[in-house]
Amino acid sequence: GIDAADDSERVRFLPEAIASVEAAMADGVPVLGYLHWSLLDNFEWMSGYGPRYGLVAVDRKTFKRSPKPSARLFGDIARAGGTGVR
């Protein structure tokens, strides 16, 4: 994942990362799945609560979860069955 407070870097990264997986599959690599780190902003053992890697923001006081633009993009890519760049 990417620690990006405003999420714009993650929005650029996701399609590129998934397109790379699709390219590997097109080359015959037996890819079984893709796991994006991380679903939620969480505790990182080396960095504590500072980094914000999640597709979903977590308010540390209320624990309210708020999907970031990257979460919506990831959902769109999943529903479409990929990026369409093959």
Which residues fall within 8 angstroms of residue 50, CB to CB, at 6 or more apart? 44
pLDDT of residue 1: 78
Taking the alpha carbons of 62, 66, 70, 33 in that order, is the dihedral positive or negative? positive
pLDDT of residue 85: 59
How far apart CA 77 and CA 6 sit, in angstroms, is: 20
pLDDT of residue 83: 84
Under 8 Å between Cβ of 21 and 78: no
Q: Token digits for 41?
A: 């902003």
> Looking at this protein, which amino acid is placed at residue 22?
E
Which pTM was predicted?
0.84
| pLDDT by 10-residue block (mean), the chain, 86 residues | 86 94 96 91 82 90 96 95 74
Residue 48 dihedral angles phi and psi, to the nearest 5°? 70, -145
